[in-house]
Amino acid sequence: MIRSFVFNQGKLVGQDLDLDSLRLVLFDKGLHIWVDIEGGTDDEAKAVLDGVFGFHPLAIEDCLTPSERPKVDEYETYLFLVIHAVDYTRGSEEFRTTELNIFMGKDFVVTYHREPLRSITATVDRVLKNAPAVARAPDRLTHTMLDFLFENYRPVLEELSAEVSELEEKVLVSASTDILSDVLKVKKEVQKLRQIIAPQRELVARFARGEFKLVRLHLLPYFRDLSDQIVHISDMAEGYRDSLTNILQVHLNLQQTQINQVIKVLTVLATLALPIFVITSFYGMNFGHFPPEGSRPGMAYLWVFGVTGLCTGLLYWWLKAKKWL
């Protein structure tokens, strides 16, 4: 699907033009245009990217080839951005990223994405309702798209926050291996988020520093605000990683405590049984017949059991005195 919007001094004056009309609009220096390409075939996209705008072949190739790393390339008359929107659903515990490619020139913005994006939908709604607020120039329109894109990170962070809170409560109730698996899954996704955010943070910082001539000076504070927003997202992701590391450490400590408790019980049982083993071994190795000949059977057994019980009792009292029980 190809959508187009034509603006004159911030006012929406045309929509959904054909390719020939788009070429004519590009020659009118008083007009700004936004073309959004969603899905479709590569040939359909090239008809716009190459046939209408004549972008560099390398930029078109990068646009049509999925990339996991955000970047910004500066050409003579336009900028080419690759950036990613994210989605995260609890239960699936997996990040989905959707690539957004943006070509920004002095009089145009061209966006390309293979799947629907909430940030693009929100920008279209804003254009239709209040075009002068966002479409006075391509740099302002680009800022609006990026602002909506990073705003959509908020639900992702809320989902992760709820997930981390649940794990913090669960780890104190149970030390089962299921918790370990859950913690490692969420930690893996937080690491993915950090890997996505880090290069995008640097990309936005370049806009905030005014490195690109196509971004007007009075818009730099807006991009700095955007940079602060993504720094906050990065800091939150870092905090989630630290929390998950602490949860993992608590889980391992609890498991070790349980193991130590089991070892303690088994050691006590083995220690209390030691007199039985010693006495029975002594009689088993040194007497050919038990009870010995000439002895009273009842007294012999009473003697053995009495000594065994006494030794076990003394051993138990000694362990209690040492506070090992």
What is the sign of the dihedral through the CA atoms of 18, 127, 105 and 2?
negative
Question: Which helix H or strand E contains 32, and what residues bound it?
Answer: strand 31-38
Yes or no: say if 209 and 216 are a contact pair by the CB < 8 Å rule: no
pLDDT level of residue 96 (50, 70, 90 thresholds): confident
- Write down the number of H helices and E strands in the chain: 10, 7
Phi, psi of 95 (to 5 degrees): -80, 140
Mean pLDDT across 19-45: 82
Q: Say what the pLDDT of residue 123 is.
A: 87
pLDDT level of residue 243 (50, 70, 90 thresholds): confident
Residue 292 clears pLDDT 80, i.e. is over it? no
Residue 262 clears pLDDT 90, i.e. is over it? no
pLDDT level of residue 300 (50, 70, 90 thresholds): low
* CB neighbour list of residue 298: distance below 8 Å, 6 or more residues apart: none
Q: Say what the pLDDT of residue 278 is.
A: 73
Yes or no: say if 35 and 21 are a contact pair by the CB < 8 Å rule: no
Question: Could you give the CA distance from residue 233 to residue 193 in angstroms, rounded to a whole number?
Answer: 9
Collapsing DSSP to helix, strand or coil, 322 comes out as coil
Question: Residue 111 forms beta bridges with which residues?
Answer: 36, 102
pLDDT level of residue 102 (50, 70, 90 thresholds): very high
pLDDT level of residue 297 (50, 70, 90 thresholds): low
Question: Could you give the CA distance from residue 41 to residue 318 in angstroms, rounded to a whole number?
Answer: 83
- Comparing 201 with 304, which gets the higher pLDDT? 201
Collapsing DSSP to helix, strand or coil, 299 comes out as helix
pLDDT level of residue 80 (50, 70, 90 thresholds): very high
Lowest mean pLDDT segment, chosen from 67-76, 157-166, 183-192, 270-279: 270-279
Mean pLDDT across 47-69: 86
Q: Say what the pLDDT of residue 111 is.
A: 92
Question: Could you give the CA distance from residue 48 to residue 151 in angstroms, rounded to a whole number?
Answer: 29
